[in-house]
Amino acid sequence: MVGEREWDVIVIGTGAGGGTLAHRLAATGKQILILERGDYLPRERDNWDSTAVFVSGKYRAPEFWYDKHGDQFPPEVNYYVGGNTKFYGAALFRLRPEDFGELRHHDGISPAWPIQYDVLEPYYTEAERLYLVHGQRGEDPTEGPASGPYPYPPLQHEPRIQQLSDDLEKQGLHPFHLPIGVNLTQDASGWPTHDSVCIRCNRVDGFPCLVKGKSDAQVICVDPALTYDNVQMVTNAYVRRLETDASGRSVTKVVTALGDGSTAEFSADIVVVSCGAVNSAVLLLRSANDSHPRGLANSSDVVGRYYMRHNNLALMAVSKEPNPTQFQKTLAMNDWYLGSDDWDYPLGGIQMLGKSDDEQIRGEAPRWAGRAAPNMPFEVLAHHAVDLWLCGEDLPLSDNRVTVDADDNIHLVLDEKNNIAGLNRLRHKLQGMLGHLGMHEGHLLDHSIYLHKGMPIGATAHQAGTVRFGSDRATSALDPNCKAHDLDNLYVVDTSFFPSIGAVNPSLTAIANALRVGDVIAERLG
Ligand SMILES: Cc1cc2nc3c(=O)[nH]c(=O)nc-3n(C[C@H](O)[C@H](O)[C@H](O)COP(=O)(O)OP(=O)(O)OC[C@H]3O[C@@H](n4cnc5c(N)ncnc54)[C@H](O)[C@@H]3O)c2cc1C
Ligand code: SF4
């Protein structure tokens, strides 16, 4: 019986962090139990249906959290095997070397990490290989040194995006091929070969992949890990609480609500929490006991604090020429990542989003009334849409905080204006270039359906920072190996360990770090 066995390692959560760590440990032969609150995502036509995914939010977790006014909001979270990577855009970036040091921003300091880029670099290289990342080194002026080339060639631009790349270069900028994790084999023109798993369609961003072409944590890590006899997974297994021994130094029980309504208690030598930044903090806070009155691993009182999620803008420009691109996520630009001629502070990066279609644009229409080319029918507008994503760094503020109340409701307090000056400048720079990029100058519209509009609190897709790691136990919950300072057998490997978030997508860093921590745990287990 799963519940009656003594496991070597229990991994809670199967996203970028937990899924990857379980994969790393599978080959050790140690007895590993994976607990996942969700089930497998059903494979059905709706996986690729814009209305089901974006307008109705069919797959989003059916829950509400509370903001600082006590108002409910639906968070952008998905509970399935593979976690949020089932829905992610698979843009798999490394942080810049500067992101690991202290960086001065307009609104304050982005703190240094306890490890530097060179420590994570070999794991970034392994992570890129594992998650089938396609990219091109040497194009992005901000990229750090790498010990090897990308394992797969970059995804070729389709003609309208190649034109955009050429036009950006004419402006003296350095667009580059966006690193992306897909199982695509390209022919000479960039289209899939007859035996390619990925078919290079227009559903890559925000949709789950029906044909297992996207490098998500289920396909890349959990499914292969489960081929080992020593690895087992229980789905619909919602971990409610961690209990410790009398000394408070060891987690002894993982108390779990199962899908049939029963409760089970699992135990292991090592417990790894990887529930996503908000839910990991909630689990630790909810596990308070006499030895840990503020919650597990929380003698520093940082658990739940320093929540980050990126300052995001999803925008749509309107191309003068049609944009028949299928797979649009092939280009990015970091020229102003660390600053610009007219601004001493970091602005952030620009990258392409998945191509919007007329169903998504129809969903946006009420908000755009009077602003979006009034005489353009939705289908025509969709055919001219060029979708862009601007990403700036938000700073870790102690009062940006996750808590859980006596009725088990999740509360999220967030200063939405935190460090947005750089992002506003980035938008302004893009707006000023539209005429040179073959776009209508007046139109740069917010996509609310994609990643919510602007940065309302529900945009939790890039959540991070709530169980930060560090060398000083007074200001961090985890040590540099992501083990809780206060406990001997508790690790956390989702994005909650980030002390700062940079301005690139977080998953590759969570994946690389999970490989690193996996090695630490494997060595410890002998
Ligand atoms: C639409 C969208 C697009 C995105 N695009 C990108 C992108 O292009 N590039 C990128 O880098 N990132 C992207 N992201 C963000 C990325 O998905 C996350 O950063 C990443 O998945 C975080 O991994 P994680 O392990 O921290 O958590 P998650 O992936 O959220 O995994 C947490 C897991 O824990 C499970 N869980 C939670 N609570 C419990 C519990 N109590 N008991 C048991 N199990 C539990 C959850 O069901 C889930 O499986 C995107 C996200 C979204 C939603
Ligand atoms: S582009 Fe490839 S990976 Fe993305 S949804 Fe289509 S088939 Fe899947």
Q: What is the pLDDT of residue 444?
A: 81
Contact in structure between 522 and 284 (CB atoms under 8 Å): no
Q: What is the C-alpha to C-alpha distance for residues 522 and 371, in angstroms, rounded to an integer? A: 57
Task: Indicate the range of 118-122, 348-352, 455-459 predicted with least confidence.
Answer: 455-459
Q: What is the pLDDT of residue 382?
A: 84
Q: Tell whether the model's pLDDT for residue 364 goes beyond 70.
A: no
Q: Tell whether the model's pLDDT for residue 197 goes beyond 90.
A: yes
Would the CB of 209 count as within 6 Å of ligand 2? Answer: yes
Categorize the per-residue pLDDT at 144 as very low, low, confident or very high, splitting at 50, 70 and 90: very high
Would the CB of 182 count as within 6 Å of ligand 2? Answer: yes
- Would you call 479 exposed, middle or buried from its count of C-beta atoms within 10 A (0-12, 13-18, 19+)? middle
The answer to whether the Cα torsion of 275, 517, 264, 250 is positive or negative is negative
230-286 pLDDT tens trace? 999 999 999 999 999 999 999 999 999 999 999 999 999 999 999 999 999 999 999
Closest ligand to C-alpha of residue 180 is 1
Would the CB of 90 count as within 6 Å of ligand 1? Answer: yes
Categorize the per-residue pLDDT at 443 as very low, low, confident or very high, splitting at 50, 70 and 90: confident
Categorize the per-residue pLDDT at 375 as very low, low, confident or very high, splitting at 50, 70 and 90: low
**Ligand 2 midpoint to CA 325 (Å):** 14
Q: What is the pLDDT of residue 451?
A: 47
Q: What is the C-alpha to C-alpha distance for residues 269 and 8, in angstroms, rounded to an integer? A: 5
Please tell me the residue having the least CA distance from ligand 1 atom 2.
Answer: 88
**Ligand 2 midpoint to CA 48 (Å):** 10
Mutate to test the pocket of ligand 1, among 34, 78, 88 (most ligand atoms within 8 A of CB): 88
**Ligand 2 midpoint to CA 425 (Å):** 33
**Ligand 1 midpoint to CA 466 (Å):** 14
DSSP string for 141-197: TTPPP-SS--SBPPPPPPHHHHHHHHHHHHTT---EEPPEEB---B-TTSPBPTT-S
Contact in structure between 26 and 34 (CB atoms under 8 Å): no
Would the CB of 213 count as within 6 Å of ligand 2? Answer: yes
Q: What is the pLDDT of residue 356?
A: 81
For the segment 81-105, the average pLDDT, to the nearest whole number, is 97
Categorize the per-residue pLDDT at 54 as very low, low, confident or very high, splitting at 50, 70 and 90: confident
Overall pTM > 0.75: yes
Would the CB of 211 count as within 6 Å of ligand 2? Answer: yes
**Ligand 2 midpoint to CA 329 (Å):** 11
Categorize the per-residue pLDDT at 58 as very low, low, confident or very high, splitting at 50, 70 and 90: very high
Please tell me the residue having the least CA distance from ligand 1 atom 37.
Answer: 275
Place of tokens 């995502």: 41
Would the CB of 36 count as within 6 Å of ligand 1? Answer: yes
**Ligand 2: which atom is nearest the Cα of residue 214?**
3
328-348 pLDDT tens trace? 999 999 999 999 999 999 999
Closest ligand to C-alpha of residue 155 is 2
Would the CB of 197 count as within 6 Å of ligand 2? Answer: no
Q: What is the pLDDT of residue 366?
A: 57
Would the CB of 16 count as within 6 Å of ligand 1? Answer: yes
Percent pLDDT > 90 in the chain is 86
